[in-house]
Amino acid sequence: MTKSVAVLGTGIMGAGMARSLLRAGLDVAVWNRSADKARPLGEEGARVADTPAEAVAGADVVLTVLFDADSTAEVVRGLDLAGAVWVQSGTVGLEGTERLVELAGSTPFVDAPVLGTRKPAEEGKLTVLAAGPREVRDRVAPVFEAIGSRTVWAGERPGDGHRLKLAANSWVLSITAATAQAVALTRGLGLAPEAFLDVIAGGPTDSGYAQAKGRAMIAGDFTPSFGIGGAVKDADLIMEAMRAAGTDDRLMRALHEQYRVAADHRGAEDMAAVVRAFGT
């Protein structure tokens, strides 16, 4: 029975997931390259490790929530994961997932990216998109139940979780940029930008995400929940997947450019800062 979890990577998502695991009563060890991002979790009951090897020692599940495939491979390579299940939740793309599966070797590997941002991560309300061997599902269930309100098993083939994640993120990137375009246009035409959000409110084209990101754009509050650097990275991964699938990537290329331009403006902000690329 899973009792101990090592969380490697305590950025926006990893820290929230670690807190959810602690609330569920699991023994949690955490590590982050920047120790100051892991240290506050020690005050909440986690064991803060100085090295990845120290964090994973004796863990039933090792949960990686790192930025990309390269950083994940760098951290995990050479670790002794004997007896553990590796749950990989960072968004690393399809080719990146293949590389990490190879790195896992005989260690059971579950491809488990998540849908959600800072608040759902903190509240244990993420959606887990999982793919991996049936025989380890009971072992990872306590982890998924702690961090998420829903687990969708896409299959047993590692990578299928990511296939769903990239499709879902293509929608998230699209709806956020479309909201930015409409907010900027409303303002540019001399109206209060709130008017756009009021018009769609409660109708078939409304969404909670559009409202939340739209309000943040209008207020100029770009406190990171889903970092804009991550949006640029994910757009790259989505384009790679689209080319591999033989689908047209012209829209995603345009979205990628808008997020890239906005990221170049200020750096570490929320993806809602894409509104800057529309001239406002």
| Span 175-216, pLDDT tens digits | 999 999 999 999 999 999 999 999 999 999 999 999 999 999
Regions of the chain where pLDDT drops below 70: 265-267, 280
Which token pair is 215? Answer: 């309000």
How far apart are alpha carbons 173 and 38 in whole angstroms? 29
Q: Looking at residue 258, what is its pLDDT?
A: 97
* Backbone φ, ψ for residue 78 (5° rounding): 90, -5
Q: Looking at residue 268, what is its pLDDT?
A: 82
Q: Looking at residue 267, what is its pLDDT?
A: 63
Greatest Cα-to-Cα distance within the chain, rounded to the nearest angstrom:
62
Length of the chain: 280
How far apart are alpha carbons 262 and 183 in whole angstroms? 15
How many angstroms from the chain centroid is the CA of residue 268?
Answer: 15
Q: Looking at residue 136, what is its pLDDT?
A: 97
Q: Looking at residue 41, what is its pLDDT?
A: 98
Containing 215, the helix (H) or strand (E) segment is: helix 208-219
Q: Looking at residue 280, what is its pLDDT?
A: 66
Q: Looking at residue 192, what is its pLDDT?
A: 97
Residues 6+ apart with CB under 8 A from 44: 19, 22
Q: Report whether 63 contacts 2 (CB < 8 A).
A: no
Q: What type of residue sits at position 23?
A: R
Neighbour-count burial of 25, counting CB atoms closer than 10 A to its CB (0-12 exposed, 13-18 middle, 19+ buried): exposed
Which token pair is 95? Answer: 């080719």
The 3-class secondary structure across 61-95, one letter per residue, is EEEECCCCHHHHHHHHCCCCCCCCEEEECCCCHHH
How far apart are alpha carbons 145 and 124 in whole angstroms? 8
